Structure 1
Amino acid sequence: MFGPLSYSWAPYVKSSRTLYKWVKPVADWYANASGYRKYGFKYDDLLVEENPTVQRALTRLTEREKYDRAYRLKRASQASVLHAHIPKEQWTTPVEDNRYLKPHVTEVMKEEAERQMWDTVVVERK
């Protein structure tokens, strides 16, 4: 599977209790060190919007999700202009950082794969 979500080791890591114990602290450290939560972003806000798959997935968001996403983007832009993070009480916590766009992107990718499969079907007459 290629695209904005690409391949992931997450299911394998989650299935192994020992590996999960080793990788989880590193993953948490990396998420905090990346700094996107200090601007109020969620992980899915960082997906490249110019990708056609992500564009189609964005149209499937509810009005509330669209508004919240636009608000986070504008707030982060303003903080970037001011060269400062947003106040600490407004940072995105790990609990709030859920994957709201991923289900829509995977659905679009499945639809594109199905469309590709049916577009290449050859009809033979006997």
Structure 2
Amino acid sequence: MVFGPLSVSLAPYIQSSKTLSKWVTPVANWYANASRYRQYGFKYDDLVMEETPSVQRALDRLTLRETYDRAYRLKRASQASVLHKPLEKDQWTKSEEDVRYLTPHISNVVAEDAERQKWDTILVKKN
């Protein structure tokens, strides 16, 4: 996942077009199911690399409930990985539950950093 001034997303364009959405949505669902992260109880944002400073700051902005749920999903998936088998089918993450809970916070942190960089490097000219 890349965030920054060079990242471009086609998602808004695809979502605004009913025809494109009809073609792309089944492929996206197939890909998400093929990656099998939902079979271990993960949400998509659980897979974001935590080592970057912007993600660390975004994680600090989660509510207590979101933080607890994330930790629970990580521990449950670790246990399933140790057992070398996915969770029971009734414990899999459903596609409607797989919402982006961390991505908006990461986007806000990146935007704040860009704004801070802009203001920190502003040139003031005397008249």
Q: Could you state the TM-score of these two structures normalised by the residue count of structure 2?
A: 0.93
Distance 2:16 2:66 in 1: 31
Q: Name the amino acid aligned to 2:89.
A: K
Question: SS where residue 68 of structure 1 aligns?
Answer: helix
How many aligned residue pairs are there? Answer: 124
Distance 2:10 2:44 in 1: 17
Q: Name the amino acid aligned to 1:34.
A: S
What CA deviation, in whole Å up to 9, does each residue of 1:59-97 have, x standing for no partner? 000011000000000110111011010111000001110
Residue 117 of structure 2: aligned partner? 116
Specify every segment of 5 or more residues in structure 1 that has no aligned partner in the other structure, as ranges.
none
Residue 61 of structure 2: aligned partner? 60
Distance 2:30 2:120 in 1: 45
Contact 2:3 2:107 in 1 (8 A): no
Displacement of 1:52 in angstroms is 1.2
Residue 3 of structure 2: aligned partner? 3
Displacement of 1:51 in angstroms is 1.4
Specify every segment of 5 or more residues in structure 2 that has no aligned partner in the other structure, as ranges.
none
The runs of at least 4 consecutive aligned structure 1 residues that moved more than 2 Å come to none
Q: Could you state the TM-score of these two structures normalised by the residue count of structure 1?
A: 0.94
RMSD of the TM alignment (CA)? 1.2
